[in-house]
Structure 1
């Protein structure tokens, strides 16, 4: 089997390598105590936290296993990455990802908040910036693991063994944290994280838009299990103070220089000579794309023997020389890491209007947002404005006349997340009741008999360290509170 020998312990090695090489020298000694704040600028702690986070999320610990298990990437079976990891998530991935949310990432953000709020004068903007990113951390953690520590987390003196809050309470807690951050923002105050703000360079009006956008996304996750949050969805739509252009998108930028390269580029550079013959177009994505979708040649590279045709392969089935690989463009050194995009938000807004969530149902408005969202997604990934415009006007069905407008929106949301596995996994689970999700997925070849995967389980490190873990421990097929 090709490449399998290289993969022993690969998740741990890749995660450690990316973390050690991505950070700047200034980050190295920023917090000698792993649990308590020291005398340090909150900007440095913030910078280390977000670097560690993206290194984990877009490497062998996060992007790779979630992409394969969620079936938006294909391993190519024995022709490519291999078969072994179907629903068998490495303990290193489970543990390193948890530690990112609660130690190298989350704990450092909490220290940044404490430092900023205890400073003289108080650095409200730095605290707000850190809280907004921390809210996203916990959103990802609960969407991946389910019930997680929140109300007692990052307070080891008082709560050395933090309890696990149920997911509903965690999601409401995220909203409260974002509201705190919004209230703290002082747009005219020069005290803020600027040089280490790799997202918005200290522009606090952008941070306020981001906080509202994350709230909107959280409420859209909650609304099926908690219909009352539709009112908050409507309020956010009416207030119109969310991400409103591609320039507003929340993006971690990378560059073509040593130690600042995209983690996926470095994964392939360090472990496969910079060549992608590990990851392939999955039929669960390509087969849902319209033949004229301009993203196809931007998402995928045609197989060497395919004569320019784009041919996908099923999850965990063997690829061939004809099978399209994931495009090298997405693995380039300066490829951005997208955290929350304008086009993603447009599609969520289209969904809200199509469903009448907090607003009067309006399929005409939904159709406008839907087509603009798809258009902006195509442009973001490199399609020309004319090609993107022609595609949405000539090839996409109108939501007003189609028989199932919500299904059309969910298909485009799924396609948009092809290279963002965590978001794809969340989107698939929230797209419909069990067995009616979009797309309909089947159990991968070689996976244990039983239901599809719906979460990660806790790592052995966490189960050994915290006596307050859930009992019984959740299984990978157990649904979460939001997942109907």
Structure 2
């Protein structure tokens, strides 16, 4: 019953979200209805958390996986999956749903942050600041300069100005700092707990703080090389790293995957969005003939398969059989050259577990990879870079339900995937992150590629 009640709230909030894209002057308000400004955070939070997560798990995931040579499909079959992506036909509406959805639905988070209802809602506001920063970082990474300081004012400002991307990054980091202070220093006797209204952390404030610090670490690392030519920005970043070190900040670690589940059920438009988009039709989970079209088209690239089956590295990576599964007639996992005519294997049991499975927002493994990079570069003073790197790989195997066996030992001296054997430690970190997040958070792997160039030797799609 709790799951159904949560889903009813989310469906209701889908309608509420529309208010952020329309002018108050143009909308006829029901005098007997609820005014959005009067809705308490308890009502808004479940939908505010769930709606942007669906875009992360589906549209953003698919774009990243196709752009960084993780996913392929038989582009020469009748439906021509990924024809546009492999041809790089980038029009004004190319994956426009990312912009449209994130810009609109994060308005619910802004509504919570600016809430004036009576009561101490510091936990709701702090968590919403952190969660909104998570999505606005992606908007900046994908689009550069975007509206930010004047967003979500509805009819009061229909044409918000664009802000500089660097300034937005700095502001997001500052907001995360403020959110953590707000949650740590609020009056514990009067603060209203989020409880089950929080469909991500279940009201666990310490986990929200770890999540906030991990997002902040990702942004600081992403700016660091660029900041070497900007003394003012470099000073800001150095001060932020000093703060992390002085306070012995806690980050997401082993077992701290950030997931969301508002009560997914095996029904149309109520399943886990990843499963419904790339898996099976409602009521048909596991029945091969009832796979959705996206599942039938999405599969691994030859580049990825050969990287994991030992062809490229001489090290067999057991995660391959959890990330992908054979189709009818296949005896082993098969890849396809992007733009080629072969039919790749399908998405596997490590990614498709059930219609009700949790959705991933940020994995513990990604956070551990970030910590490894920061320690290796001397930016974080606590921890061992190699140990953090190998803990991230272990966490990846565990999340996918794969036995790691002797992989850490076997791969340790291998270039690009092992710590000791890689002359470029950053390449090993980013390449392992590419393997780990393929299917789970494709957009993150693509952004990392545009920043670092890893994985290296990534083939271009075959044009036809």
What TM-score do you get using the length of structure 2 for normalisation? 0.79
Q: Does 1:368 align with 2:387?
A: yes
In 1, Cα distance between equivalents of 2:435 and 2:242: 26
Q: Is the 8 A contact 2:38 2:117 kept in 1?
A: no
Q: Does 1:311 align with 2:334?
A: yes
Structure-to-structure mapping, 1:141-180, within 5 angstroms: 141-156=139-154, 159-180=157-178
Q: Which residue of 2 aligns with 1:75?
A: 73
Q: Does 1:109 align with 2:114?
A: no
In 1, Cα distance between equivalents of 2:318 and 2:210: 30
1:218-240 superposed Cα distances (whole Å, 9 cap, x missing partner): 11111111142255345425644
Q: Is the 8 A contact 1:219 1:230 kept in 2?
A: no
Q: Which residue of 2 aligns with 1:445?
A: 462
1:352 to 374, 378, 389: 374
Q: Which residue of 1 aligns with 2:129?
A: 131
Structure-to-structure mapping, 1:232-311, within 5 angstroms: 232-233=240-241, 235-236=243-244, 239-253=247-261, 255-258=264-267, 259-267=269-277, 268-270=279-281, 273-275=290-292, 276-289=295-308, 290=310, 291-307=315-331, 309-311=332-334
Q: Which residue of 2 aligns with 1:336?
A: 358
What TM-score do you get using the length of structure 1 for normalisation? 0.76
Structure-2 change in CA distance of 1:31 and 1:336 (3 Å): closer
User: C-alpha displacement at 1:128, in angstroms?
Assistant: 0.9
Secondary structure in 1 matching 2:361: strand
1:21-68 superposed Cα distances (whole Å, 9 cap, x missing partner): 896455366567436742111122222222221222223x43333422
In 1, Cα distance between equivalents of 2:326 and 2:18: 49
In 1, Cα distance between equivalents of 2:435 and 2:92: 29
Structure 1 segments unaligned to the other structure (5+ residues): 1-20, 448-484
What's the RMSD between the two structures over aligned residues?
A: 2.9
1:277-328 superposed Cα distances (whole Å, 9 cap, x missing partner): 2111113433333543221110011343342x223222222223xx322215
Structure-to-structure mapping, 1:381-420, within 5 angstroms: 381-383=400-402, 387-388=403-404, 390-397=406-413, 399-400=419-420, 402-419=422-439, 420=441
Structure 2 segments unaligned to the other structure (5+ residues): 1-6, 25-35, 229-233, 283-288
Q: Is the 8 A contact 1:187 1:204 kept in 2?
A: no
User: C-alpha displacement at 1:345, in angstroms?
Assistant: 1.0
Secondary structure in 1 matching 2:259: strand
Structure-2 change in CA distance of 1:201 and 1:313 (3 Å): same
User: C-alpha displacement at 1:270, in angstroms?
Assistant: 4.9
Q: Which residue of 2 aligns with 1:140?
A: 138
Number of equivalent positions: 410
Secondary structure in 2 matching 1:171: helix
User: C-alpha displacement at 1:352, in angstroms?
Assistant: 1.8
1:251-286 superposed Cα distances (whole Å, 9 cap, x missing partner): 123644325411132225459832532111113433
